[in-house]
Amino acid sequence: ASSAKSKKKTLDKIQANAVEKPQIREPTLTFNFLPMEKLPPPVLPFDDVSFSFSGKPADFLYDKLSLAVDMDSRVALVGPNGCGKSTLVKLMSGELAATRGTIKVHPKLRMSKYHQHSADVLEPDETPLGFMRKRFPPETLLKEWNLPRNEEHWRQFLTSFGFNTRQQTSPIGLMSDGQKSRLVFAMLAMKPSGILLLDEPTNHLDLDAVSGLAKA
């Protein structure tokens, strides 16, 4: 009896301090990037690429860099500030040209890029719904990518990026930095891309948006 009482006391103490088993959190945002016709690799090859902003070999940030990126590549650039991550992305996108060597982008490759100044293209007085319609006219989408769009399509599309009915028709200038980032991603997802270049894409995103982006 004494042993049973002791065990019961121990069990009561355990139950009093027990916590509920945590639930796995599923992302509520479902980012979706349109697929593009697969191109044979490599679609973005670097051949002995050297680069410096001054053009002088003594200042080379990259020297004799050879790599190849294709449409199945998943590459993360990791390093301290100032080591040249954004510069490499700009070489990939064509914003910068190699000082030496060649970067041969496949002629049919379409690239999309996200960077910290991407939100600057948004129009503060426009609404997300109006901005997307203006940026991607329905006739252009139908002609170039065979994507029929009407009012319902646009609303469903923006809803998947976390914009409710009221936010879709509110001025972009009133949105948070995170909402503006999501609207930029909606722009990137509007047309098919073979390669997505993402330069610090999670800076203003909340946990749900980061999970949705990683899943996409």
Q: How far apart are CA 170 and CA 152, in angstroms?
A: 17
Confidence tier at 29 by pLDDT (50, 70, 90): confident
Residue with tokens 């860099």: 65
Q: How far apart are CA 7 and CA 1, in angstroms?
A: 10
Q: How far apart are CA 101 and CA 84, in angstroms?
A: 18
Say if residue 201 is exposed, middle or buried (CB neighbours under 10 Å; 0-12, 13-18, 19+).
Answer: buried
CB atoms within 10 A of CB 208: 15
Of the candidates 155, 152, 177, 153, the residue with the CA atom closest to the CA atom of residue 167: 155
Measure the CA angle with vertex 209, ends 204 and 174; round to 5°.
50
The residue with greater pLDDT, 24 or 136, is 136
Residues 55-98 have pLDDT tens digits of 999 999 999 999 999 998 999 999 998 889 999 999 999 999 99
Say if residue 138 is exposed, middle or buried (CB neighbours under 10 Å; 0-12, 13-18, 19+).
Answer: middle
Strand (E) or helix (H) holding 145: helix 138-145
Q: Does the pTM exceed 0.85?
A: no
